[in-house]
Amino acid sequence: MRRAPSDAHHRSLRAGLIAALVGVSLVLSGCSSLFLPQSVTSTPTGESVSADLAPYYHQVLTWKSCDDGMQCATAKAPLDWSKPAGASISLALIRHRATNGHPLGSLLVNPGGPGASGVDFVKNSLTFAVDKTLESNYDIVGFDPRGVNHSSAIKCYTDPATFDTYIYGLPKGTIGSDQWINEVEQQNKAFGEACAKDTGALLGHVDTDSAARDLDLLRAALGDKKLDYLGYSYGTLLGQTYANLFPKKTGRLVLDGVVDPTVSPFELSADQAKGFELDLRAFLAECPKIKDCPFTGTVDQSMTSIRGLLDKLDRSPIRNSDGRMLGSQTMFTAIIYPLYNTTSWPYLVDLFNDVDNGSAKIAFSFADAYNDRNANGTYASNETEAFIAINCLDYPSDPNVSTMRTQEAQLDKLAPVFGHEMAWGGTSCFDWPYKPTRTAGALAAKGSAPIIVIGTTGDPATPYAMAQHVATLLQNGHLITYHGNGHTAYNKDTTPADQCVNTAVDAFFIHGTVPQSDPQCGA
């Protein structure tokens, strides 16, 4: 069963695409020093907290050399923040020291997901995470939220082949039929049971509210009186939640590719379906300029052709060399993967041409990259498991078949190409072992420091309207608009429009400068 393309993804997308196609590995970013001491320790803020929280807020982090010049550490957090005297969990961190030797403080970075590894993000893709100005002036800290990868992690299917069946398998029956819905729900129920068995109590405590409380603990243990934070995509929801819980502890927060905390799961799916279709239309408009573009008609004709291709794959899936079958939902994942970044659009030409030739090779390479699956069939991280587990706590799902069929019809009307692929969200958390804990609603963060909110007009995953709304919801939110396509805007490329975003963000982080008005970058 394919996971839905919720708000986020790795910002190292372009590099990931290249790796998927030609087998190259990501290049580690430069290090501030090649001769680091074996270990150094943090100096916690020592702030006053209750006795049961003191062991966490006052803990000393031991940084050890790792990954060619970076430093790694492990922090402890309460498993259950309502019972901090109980069991604890581990949180993994990695740090790249400020290259000027005089850091303004720690800048915590979250790449999104939910479920993406901030440790791997900083380790493998530092130059995608921040620009040289922030590298120079801040200690860049990547962290894996609770449940994710190197921290105390969600564990579900330990057999990659079983996991393959769950993600890529083709349930019997026509999509949306009673037979299909029943099989999908039973698959999701079995997956949840496996997660509960292999993960234990942690599965019920990977919600965003708990992760935001972890952020405050990390801030104090790092020795920072205020939190400086850069969150992408889902990381913006985490940042909003933190600011709402700890408004007086906010330093300089930047939220890029913004998730609206007020939307329902269906509204999120509808917004994303429309967003991905808008970007697909933008690609199709540019496609004739790309070598070997297979689309020769109008944009509307090409959109109809792509919907026809997806329907054809449901009737007659294409067998991959490893035996997996390419149906419409895996093809959908393969299509949206390059849509996250306009520089990756040429790879869509390769994808469509390959499928037109009866091959599933490129489609599965893209879907595998999206799902963090290695070429040998193993999985590089638990991103998919964490994505599902966190969302099942953050968003209530309605498994009522009548409701889902009504919503499917609405999605088909709103987004004729992709709406059908993003329906049936009510099956996602069917009979999940733990009930949702987050309630949709505004997060005003009353009394916070200024918060920068960045929205891209053609963002497919977190549509621009979300950034506009969040900037008004936050009591001290300030919108920066980037007129362009792709998911997120900061540190994307070196065009003048992109530098407009970088200039504003860097001025905010380094000097605390808040734009007097929206700079309308790229307009």
Q: Active-site residues: which are they?
A: 233, 459, 487
Q: Cα-Cα-Cα-Cα dihedral of 119, 122, 124, 130, to 10°?
A: 160
* Residue 354 to residues 14, 305, 458, 517, Cα–Cα distance (Å): 19, 15, 27, 46
Q: What angle do CA 26, 29, 31 make, to 5 degrees?
A: 145
DSSP state of 78: E
Q: For residue 141, with 0-12 CB atoms within 10 Å meaning exposed, 13-18 middle and 19 or more buried, which class applies?
A: buried
SS3 70: strand
Q: For residue 503, with 0-12 CB atoms within 10 Å meaning exposed, 13-18 middle and 19 or more buried, which class applies?
A: middle
For residue 139, report the phi and psi dihedrals to the nearest 5 degrees.
Answer: -75, 115
| 477-485 sheet: strands from edge to edge | 39-41, 62-66, 70-78, 88-96, 139-143, 106-110, 227-232, 250-256, 451-458, 477-485
What token pair was written down for 110? 């979250």
Q: Strand pairing partners for 431?
A: none
With beta carbons less than 8 A apart as the criterion, state whether 481 and 457 touch: yes
CA separation for the pair 348, 364 (Å, rounded): 13
Task: Give residue for tokens 């808008």.
Answer: 278
Provide the residue type at 103 as one letter: P
Show the 3-state SS of 373-388.
Answer: ECCCCCECCCHHHHHH
Q: How many CB atoms lie within 10 A of CB 494?
A: 9
Ramachandran area for residue 522 (φ above 0: left; ψ -120 to 50: alpha; else beta) = left
Q: How many CB atoms lie within 10 A of CB 405?
A: 15
